[in-house]
A and B are shown apart, each in its own frame.
Chain A
Amino acid sequence: NAGVTQTPKFQVLKTGQSMTLQCAQDMNHEYMSWYRQDPGMGLRLIHYSVGAGITDQGEVPNGYNVSRSTTEDFPLRLLSAAPSQTSVYFCASSYGQTFSDGYTFGSGTRLTVV
Chain B
Amino acid sequence: DAKTTQPPSMDCAEGRAANLPCNHSTISGNEYVYWYRQIHSQGPQYIIHGLKNNETNEMASLIITEDRKSSTLILPHATLRDTAVYYCIVHSGAGSYQLTFGKGTKLSVIP
How many pairs of residues, A versus B, come closer than 8 Å at their CB atoms? 63
Would you call B97 and A43 a contact (CB within 8 A)? no
Which of B49, B97, B100, B103 has the most C-beta atoms of chain A within 10 angstroms of its own C-beta?
Answer: B97
A42 to chain B: closest residue by CB: B101
Would you call A108 and B87 a contact (CB within 8 A)? no
A56 to B: closest C-beta gap in Å? 8
Chain B interface mostly? loop
Interface residues contributed by chain B, number (CB under 8 Å): 23
Point out the residue from B41, B46, B91, B98 that lies within 8 Å of A108, measured CB to CB. B41
What separation, in Å, do the CA atoms of A99 and B48 have in the docked complex?
A: 11
Q: Chain A, interface size: which category?
A: 20 to 34
List, in ascending order, chain B residues with CB within 8 A of A108's CB: 41-43
Would you call B46 and A106 a contact (CB within 8 A)? no
Give 3 closest A-B pairs by Cβ, nearest first: A102-B46, A105-B43, A42-B101
Interface residues of A (CB under 8 A from B): 4, 31, 33, 35, 40-45, 48, 50, 56, 58-59, 88, 90, 92, 97-108
